[in-house]
Copies of this chain bind each other. A is one copy, B any other.
């Protein structure tokens, strides 16, 4: 394949995504899989990577830039944490090299907030923030990155000043699949299209202290009021949790950049609307690729068009 500058990989807990990028950072080919950290032993990562590179016909000399959980203690190689306040233009300087693979492979650091009163870590999202600050030029903004572990980051002067994590997606999954609420939860629907989603968001914003007390209504409502209420259960659970997340970060919700894709983006856009929060939206994958391309361009400048 012509003009391949690098292979860029977003390696999460439950997903693997690889793109071949050209000399301007544009994607030429991609591979997606579910071989995330949770499914892999350290010795598996090299095989998964080389299989994807072969599938995309990547040149033998193409270097690889990786972000995400591949750099966790339980991942491929432990990449360090980069401390706050974080100037992401030098994030790549602390990347961890993976030796013995016959090509140049680097794993980007995560970020650590070493505040004893609000300790926090991220792996993967720093690369989206790199895309937002360096590739998109964002200087002052709250960035909301919804997901299994939603991250809310404050960008000040182009640096990551602080961030917080809400386990919204993980708790939704646990309650939807493994709890006494599960019986009434239908996971296929697009929750944000259901009016119960908006009203549940509003309930959580109105009484954010009442989350633990409201969740059980997702079960007791259908038990007492039947099928019509049961159909709203997934939307209601999602709305209660996302509303609660927004309430938790309300002090930081001025002028938000929402970084998400698909159904998740729709749900958060709707919820931020209910909360009356002004926001712009940008696709998460676009930012991931631009963050990876930026870091790769600093490590291997000769492979990119300046």
Contact = CB atoms under 8 A, between A and B. Distances in A.
How many copies, total? 2
B121 A223 contact: yes
Contacts of A171: 171, 174-175, 179, 212, 215
Given A167-B179, A170-B179, A120 B217 contact: yes
Contact of A217 (B118, B181, B244): B118
A211 B244 contact: yes
A3 interface: no
Interface in A174-193: 174-175, 178-181
A115 to B, nearest CB: 9
A165 interface: yes
Contact of A213 (B164, B175, B180): B164
Contacts of A166: 212-213, 216
Contacts of A180: 13, 149, 167, 170
A223 B72 CA distance: 11
Task: Report, nearest first, the 10 A-B pairs whose CB atoms are least far apart.
Answer: A208-B209, A213-B248, A165-B216, A166-B212, A119-B220, A174-B174, A119-B221, A209-B247, A210-B248, A119-B224
